[in-house]
Amino acid sequence: MSATRLTPGTRDTRTTPSSASGLSAGSGVFLVAEREIGSKLRSKVFLISTGILLLIALAGVLIGGFMSKNTSETKIAVTSETAQIVHGLPGLALTETADATAAEKLVRAGTVEAALIPAPGDNAFGYTVVALHSAPSSLQGLLAKTPKVTILEPEKTNPVLRYLVAIGFGVVFLMAASTFGATMAQSVVEEKQTRVVELLLAAIPARVLLAGKILGNTVLAMAQILLLAAIAVVGLIVTGQNGVLAGLGAPLVWFAVFFLFGFVLLASLFAAAAAMVSRQEDIGSTTMPITMLVMLPYFLVIFFNDNPVVMTVLSYVPFSAPVGMPVRLFVGDAQWWEPLVSLAILLVSCVIAILVAAKIYENSLLRMGARVSLREALRG
């Protein structure tokens, strides 16, 4: 077959596929994004899994709120002489009786766990604890005489609450990034296997296709994050945890912002890694390093949430900043300018990752058969 040759003075009427279709880059991006979003919303598996995730999040917030309110109290009987000894102590439910005999009857009947009655004779304490089988350890701890304690550096937040917040941010980021990243990678390989990608590239450039995929999955991931945030807010309001809600306000907003750009960074890498293989069975070989970049921050934040030095470092690393910085903001360890600097680092990393991923994606998408090495994908 001879190549088409142009004579001098003639006009080249041949057009590229994208120009022939009259489809601009922006229109192509939105069409691909619409296709990605539509395919996910028509998937029953995606809708059911999202619904289950939202229900689990709501149940977790409600159960945590109700458990924090329903703290168990030790029921004890007291007399008029011993009532003042335990008055105002936390965790005790007092039942005042006429005398020590009446208090002992309540103990034998099981109405109360113990009784605090005046001590006979020359008891140094002036009172004695009466129990049926064993005295409640909580009551003994409250009555024990301990020296005055002065805390030089008190905890800014409850350690348990800080741990739960770190788990919450970590789990949400881990599940959303890994789930949507994996599904996008599978979509890329499926299009290569079925040769659909050749038809797509006949209409739009590879970079437009990549941008559309990233945009569509980012919209879905952000929608899921916003729904989870709304459920958390509603759950905290219903359970009356206004103090926790007030402390979570700014960290939640920053988490959404960091998650947006962090997900774009990871999504571009997932798509590029998937373009290097042609079979679903080979996806794990190229996406495993990216999956580790998602999982590693989750475990580090959970294990070192009480270590200020490690958390400071994690809040500036692009792959862990979406979790590390909101946790530091919640506990009050971050200055006002730190999230801005961390976000700037994340934005620069995001741009670099998109440029590298676009080159890999463009050079690997039409290569079938054996896995494309990273060096070959970068060289083209």
Q: What are phi and psi of 139, to 5 degrees?
A: -70, -40
Check whether 179 has a pLDDT greater than 80. yes
Q: Over the stretch 205-230, which tens digit does the pLDDT of each residue have?
A: 999 999 999 999 999 999 998 998 88
pLDDT tens digits along 7-37: 444 444 433 444 444 578 888 899 999 999 9
CA-to-CA dists, residue 285 to 182, 190, 278, 292, 359, angstroms: 13, 16, 12, 12, 19
Distance, in Å, from the CA atom of 258 to the CA atom of 326, rounded to the nearest integer, reads 9
Q: How far apart are CA 185 and CA 36, in angstroms?
A: 12
Confidence of residue 265 (pLDDT cuts 50, 70, 90): very high
pLDDT digits (tens, 9 = 90+) for 115-170: 888 876 655 566 788 887 777 776 766 666 555 556 556 666 677 778 888 888 88
Q: What angle do CA 99, 104, 106 make, to 5 degrees?
A: 100
Residue that is written with structure tokens 């470092």 in the block: 313
Q: Reply yes or no on whether the pLDDT at 198 is more than 70.
A: yes
pLDDT of residue 152: 58
pTM for this prediction: 0.74
Domain ranges of the chain: 24-62+156-379, 75-135
Compute the average pLDDT of residues 68-96: 74
